[in-house]
Structure 1
Amino acid sequence: MQDTLTVILAGGRGSRLEPLTRDRAKPAVPFGGLYRIIDFALSNCLNSGMKRMLVLTQYKAQSLDRHLDVAWRNYFCRELNEFIDVVPPQQRIADNWYQGTADAVYQNIYAIERERPEHVVILAGDHIYKMNYKAMVEYHRQQDADITVGALRATVDEAREFGVMQIDESQQIIGFQEKPANPQPLPDDPNVCLASMGIYVFKARYLFEQLCRDATNEESRHDFGANIIPTAIGTHRVFAFPFKDENRDATGDIKREAYWRDVGTLDAYFEANMDLIHVDPQLNLYDQAWPIRGFQPNVPPPKFVFGSNNTESEGGEPQRRGEALDSIVCQGAICSGGSVRRSIIGPEVRINSFATVEDSILFEGVDVGRHAKIRRAIIDKGVCIPAGMQIGYDSEQDRQRGFTISPGGVVVIARGERVDTDPVGSF
C-alpha cells in the first residue's frame, strides 16, 4: 500500500450534534466511553495496512489535534515513510474556508501531490464501522477504475440523506444522485437503495484533473457526491464496491448483519452508543482480529465500593452499593455507593453514594452527587451534578434549566455548563 495515500476529511462542524460539538469537531466527539468517532476510520486504516495519512481539519480542531497526537503518533515511523499528518486550512489556493468535500481536497492538492501516490483513498472521519480498505483498493486496481465508490444497502427513507447509485451487472455505476427526494430502489427490492458511504478510491492523476476542473466551475458545490462523481459517470470507469463488514462474533465468524452508522444527530449518536451495551452487540469492540484503537489514559482501573447483602439498613434507609450492570465502565471511574444501569461511564467519572444512573452516557470526569438521579442523558466532560438533582425525569424542568433535549427525549448537558438544582428564576 506504499503507492496509496489516504485523505481523511475531519473538519466537519456537526451542527446537529450540538452541544457536543460546541467545543470540538464532530470526529473528536467521544464514543463508546474510551474512543473518539475518528478512531474507527483510523483503526480501519491501520488494520488495512494503510499508514500514509493526511487528516484535513478545520472546525474547532484543537481537541482533535491533541487526540491524534497522544493516541496515534506512536503507530507510525517516519523513516519507513509512515505518517499521520494533520493538515489545517492553509488558504494556499484560495482565501476562503473549505466550500465542500472536493474543495477541501483541492485546497490541499500540493500536499497530496508531494507524496506522489498512484491512488488516493478519501474517507469521512465521522462514521462508525469496520471495513478493510485494502480489499477496496485491490478491487479498484483489478477493475482499472478511475473512481471506486464504497456502497451499502439502505432503506428508501434512509437513502434520502445519502448519494444513491445505480449499477449494471459488472458493478459499474451508471447513475448517481446526491440526496434525492425520491431515491431509485434496487431492481430486485423496491424498499432498498444502493447508497454511497462517502468512501472513494481515485487514480491520483485523474483526481487532480477533476479537482482542478471543478475548481473553475462557479456553479459547482465543490462536493464529491454532488459534482465530481456524477460528472464522471458515462465518460470514465466508475465502479461500486459493496461494503464488507469486519465485525465478528465471539466465535470469530463475520456477523451476518453489516454495521455502519452515521451518528450525525443526537438521537442517532445516543442509540449507537446504547448498541454497545447489549449482550451481543452488532459492533464488537472486543474483537482482537480487528481492534479499534484509541487513547488509553494512564489512570487506575475502575473501582466499585460499598456493598452489602442487605438492601436496607436497620433504620429502613437503603444501603449504599457501588455497582454497574449491563454497562461499560472505563478506567479511573469510581462507583462509590452509586448504581449504574445500561449506561456508558467514561474515564474518571465518579458516582457518589445513593445516586442512580440509567440509560445514559457520561463523558470523562463527570461527578454525580449523592442521591442524584439521571435517566436517558448525555453529560459532557467534567460536568458536576449536584446532590439530589434529577435529570431526565421532567422534560419541562430540564428545559427551564437550559439543557438541550433531543427529538427522542434525550437530555444533553454541555461541557462546562453550570448545573443548578433549581431552574433559573425559581426561589
Structure 2
Amino acid sequence: MRVVAMIMAGGEGTRLSVLSEKRAKPSVPFAGKFRIIDFTLSNCVNSGIFDVAVLTQYRPHSLNAHIGNGKPWDLDRANGGVQLLQPYQGRRDESWYKGTADAVYQNLNYIRERRADLVLVLSGDHIYKMNYAEMIEFHQQKRADMTVAVMHVPLEETDRFGIMTVDENQRVIEFTEKPKNRDKGTLASMGIYLFNVDTLIKRLSENGEGSPRIDFGKHVIPAMIGRDAVYAFPFEGYWVDVGTIQSYWETSMDLLNPDNTLNLYDTDWVIHTRSEERPPAKMGPQARVSRSLICNGCIIRGTVEHSVLSPGVYVSPGAVVRDSVVMNDTWIGPGAVLDRVIVDKNVVVGAGVRLGCGDDLTPNREQPDKLMTGITIVGKGAHIPPNIRIGRNVIINADRDEEDFPTGDVKSGETI
C-alpha cells in the first residue's frame, strides 16, 4: 500500500499580519526552535510516510531553505523523500494554485509517478501530533473512497469550520462549510483528507471549465457525499490552527502551561527541525528566568517571565521580557520592558523602551480585525529607538528604522 502525502504550504496567512509578510505561514517560527510546518512533516515520518510533496506558492524562499533536501526529517531519500512543488506556467493553462484541490490537480503527475494507492492531503499550518497510520487503517476497514479527520469544536466556533454530519457508522451524510446556524453539530473537518487515488483523480478531473473543483471543502467533498463512500475519522488529541495573532500568541503561551498536552519532549514522537549549531543558553549573574522556553544561543542578563525565546536572543541587564514571544537574534537593550508582544527576527529594541505598555486597548486602526486583544507585534529587522513608549495593538512593520519614529512614543492602535 503506497501512501503519498501532499502538504498544502502555499497560504499567505494574511491574518498573521507582519509575521507572514516576508514568509509563507507554514514557515513562521513556533515554540522557539521550530517552524509551524515541522509538526506536519514530523507526523508524516513518524507515521512511516516517506513520500512527501510540499506544495508552495506565496513567498516560498524561507520555507524552501528550511526544508532543503529534507535531511532533518529523514526525507533525503533516493527513492521517495520530500519534493517541493511550485506552480509553473506550462503550455496549457497551468498557473497559480487557485485553491487546495486545484493545487493537487495540477500535480496529479507526481501522484501517478509515485504509483500511489492512497493520497493524504495535509495542511502545513496546523500544530498537532497525529499518527496517520491509524487513519489509514480506519479508511481501509471502512472501504472508504475518502476519509476526513474530524474533531469536536465548541459550538460557538462552528462557523469557522466545515461541519460534518455522520451516521452511526461514521459515514458522512452531510457537509456544511462554515455554517451560520448551529444545528449541524460540532464535528469539524481538520483539513486532513485521505483519498483512494482513482477516486481522487476522477473527482478532480470530471468538472469542466464552467465549475472547476478548486477547493476540497467548497467543491470536492460536497460533490462526493452521496456518490462515494466518505467517512469521518475521529481525532481526540491536541490540534490548533494558529491562523490569527491571538491564537498564535495563546498557543505559544500555552506551551508554558504544565498541563499542555502537546509535549515537545516526547521521545516516542520527536518533532524534527533544521537546527542551527549554536552554543548553549547562558544566564548572567542578574538573570531571573521563570516559566519560559529559552533556546540555544540565548544570553540572558535581565528578567524573563512566562515567555518563549528563539535561538540567539540577547536580554540586557535590567531588561524585562514578560508574556512575550521573541524570535531569533533579537537584541533587547538595558532597562527595556516587553509586555505581551510578539517580536520577529533580528529586531533591535533600544535601551529603556517600553514595548506593549498601558491599559489602552484601542484596536489597531489599519487592521482592527487582527489586532484588538492588546498584543503588539514588531516585524523582522525593525530598530526601535531608545526610551520611547509603545502602546497596545501596535504594528511596527518589518525593517523600520529609528527615523521612522519621528514623534517618539507610539499610541495604542497605531501602525509604524
1:350 corresponds in structure 2 to 314
| Equivalent pairs, count | 390
Task: Say whether 1:88 aligns with 2:53.
Answer: no
Contact 1:335 1:351 in 2 (8 A): yes
- CA shift for structure 1 position 322: 1.2
Contiguous gaps of at least 5 residues in structure 2: 390-404, 409-416
Please say if residues 69 and 76 of structure 2, whose CA atoms lie closer than 8 Å, have aligned partners that are also in contact: no
Residue 252 of structure 1 corresponds to none
Give RMSD over aligned pairs.
2.2
Correspondence for 1:291 among 270, 287, 291: 270
Matched residues in 1 for 2:367 and 2:296: separation?
28
Distance between the aligned counterparts of 1:71 and 1:84, measured in 2? 6
1:386 aligns with 2:350: yes
1:129 matched residue in structure 2: 128
Matched letter for residue 231 of structure 1: A
* Counterpart secondary structure, 1:292: coil
Deviations 1:21-73 (A, max 9, x none): 01000000000001000011111111100111000000000000111117645
Equivalent-residue separation in structure 1 for 2:318 and 2:361 (angstroms): 22
| Mapped partners of 2:217, 2:82: distance in 1 | 25
Corresponding residue for residue 235 of structure 2: 243
Q: TM-score, normalised by structure 2?
A: 0.89
Contact 1:300 1:331 in 2 (8 A): yes
Match of 1:279 in 2: 258
Q: In structure 1, the residue corresponding to 2:194 is in which secondary structure? A: strand
Question: What per-residue deviation string (whole Å, max 9, x for no partner) do you get for residues 83-113 of structure 1?
Answer: 1111111233524311111011111111221
Contact 2:213–2:220 at 8 Å: present in 1 too?
no
Provide the residue aligned with 1:218 in structure 2.
210
Partner residue, 2:197: 204
Determine the C-alpha separation between the residues in 2 that align with 1:397 and 1:130: 35
Structure-to-structure mapping, 1:32-71, within 5 angstroms = 32-69=31-68
Partners of 1:66 and 1:183 in 2: how far apart? Answer: 43
Match of 1:418 in 2: 383
- Equivalent positions of 1:10-409 (< 5 A) are 10-69=9-68, 72=71, 75-79=74-78, 81-92=79-90, 93-186=92-185, 193-214=186-207, 216-220=208-212, 222-245=214-237, 259-306=238-285, 321-336=286-301, 338-394=302-358, 406-409=371-374
The residue type equivalent to 2:228 in the other structure is: H
- Is the partner of 2:200 in helix, strand or coil? helix
| Partner SS, residue 135 of structure 2 | helix
- One-letter code of the match for 1:356? V
Match of 2:414 in 1: none
Match of 1:7, as an amino acid? Answer: M
SS of 1:18's partner is: helix
Ranges in structure 1 where 5+ consecutive residues have no aligned partner: 187-192, 246-258, 307-320
Q: Deviations over 1:147-182 (max 9, x none)?
A: 100010012221111111101111110000111112
In the aligned structure 1, how far is the partner of 2:213 from the partner of 2:359?
40
- 1:221 Cα deviation (Å)? 6.0
Find the aligned partners of 1:97 and 1:227 in 2 and give their Cα distance.
18
Q: CA deviation at 1:238?
A: 0.5
Alpha-carbon distance between aligned partners in 1 of 2:363 and 2:100, rounded to the nearest angstrom: 36
